[in-house]
Structure 1
Amino acid sequence: MGRPKQFDPETAVEQAMQIFWRRGYAGTTPQCLVDTLGIGKGSLYNAFGGKRQLFDLALRRYLDAQAAAMDDLLDESGPVKERLSRALHLVAETDLADHERRGCMAMNTAVEFGQSDEALTTAVLGMLDRADRTLRALVEEGQRAGDISRAHDPEDLAALLLNTITGLRVMARVEPGPARIKRAIDTTLNLL
């Protein structure tokens, strides 16, 4: 009979997510994971298969949490443009308030790996596709209610919003303050 696990795998995935988010995949060594998680290398490999498998679990956890958070923000009541404004400003404020300036783990992964890893590209694109569908549905709702102009196709406006969000997440990693990000948000909303 094997020894019982001396750690909670869910907690370990959460801790690993924080490490990968902060340091990236390449910047996170197996030893760093072992030290931070407080487990032996054997436990790391037995429980998760290795660094890459743990990264995949951590990224999935991040993607699921981000999707749920975006859905919650955008499902609030009120005019669509106001809901979008609250969501965009909250994303920017949260990222700018993060003293480590981690940005978005999904966008960081896209930048780190690009097209070099099909599984990671698919995972990030899945999140972007889901966000695009949510944003398109919101734009359509706003157009029906007269809150958003019908001058542009909802698919095009959703792509603009998605590009704004992903750009904000990357910009917040290096921007010294909120001025330029706020201008980008306000201009995007004015175009709607």
Structure 2
Amino acid sequence: MARPRKFDEARVIDAAMDTFWRRGYEATSTRDLSERTELGPSSLYNAFGDKRQLYLRSLRKYQETATAEQVEVLRAPGPVADRLRELLATAIDADLSDTDRPGCFAINAAIERAAADPDVREEVRRNFATVEQALRETLAEGQRSGEIDPDRSAEVLARQVLSTYYGLRVLARVQPDRAALLDVVENLLESCTGATRTRPDR
């Protein structure tokens, strides 16, 4: 009979996710993971498998937490344009304020590991698809209410917003100019609504 685990699995996954997020897959060593999770290497890998399996678990946890928060913003009540703006502006502010944990973990994984590891690629694809589906539903809602240009495909608009969202998260890492990044957001919203909008104070 297997002995019960004497650690908090959720806490360990959170610590591993944060480590991979800050350092990347290749730069994260077993020692790094052991120190951050407070588990010895043998205990860590007996519980979760090897480093790669722990990385995949971390990506799934990211989808359950950070990606779920993005979807929650899109499904909140209120004007559709305001929800889209909040999604994009919140990501910009998060990326500019936390330079030790750069950008979006899913994007980092896509850049570093997706080409070489089909399981990582699938986790990232699932992550992106979740956000895209929420965007498509939100934009379709905006079309029904008259807030979003009804002559454009909600699917195409969702991909445009998704591409801009992830592009901004990469751009914020090398061009930390909040005003310039927010200009991109407002131009995107104008494109979605089909009209020039009064831009909010920053």
TM-score greater than 0.5 by the shorter chain: yes
Distance 1:112 1:95, change over 3 A: same
User: Counterpart of 1:179?
Assistant: 179
Task: Write the mapping of 1:36-185 to structure 2, written as runs, cut at 5 A.
Answer: 36-185=36-185
1:152 & 1:2 partners in 2: Cα distance?
57
Counterpart contact for 1:101–1:173, Cα < 8 Å = no
State TM-score, norm by structure 2. 0.89
1:155 & 1:2 partners in 2: Cα distance?
49
Counterpart contact for 2:140–2:154, Cα < 8 Å = yes
Deviates more, 1:99-108 or 1:12-21: 99-108
Counterpart residue type for residue 84 of structure 2: L
Secondary structure, counterpart of 1:172 in structure 2: helix
User: Counterpart of 2:197?
Assistant: none
Counterpart contact for 2:22–2:102, Cα < 8 Å = yes
User: Counterpart of 2:200?
Assistant: none
State TM-score, norm by structure 1. 0.93
Secondary structure, counterpart of 1:36 in structure 2: helix
Unaligned runs of 5+ in 1: none
Deviates more, 1:23-32 or 1:84-93: 84-93
* Displaced runs of 4 or more, over 4 A: 1-4
Shift of 1:61: 0.3
Secondary structure, counterpart of 2:96 in structure 1: helix
* Residue-pair matches, total: 192
Deviates more, 1:152-161 or 1:167-176: 167-176
CA RMSD of aligned residues (A): 1.6
1:50 & 1:141 partners in 2: Cα distance?
44
Counterpart contact for 1:132–1:158, Cα < 8 Å = yes
Shift of 1:39: 1.6
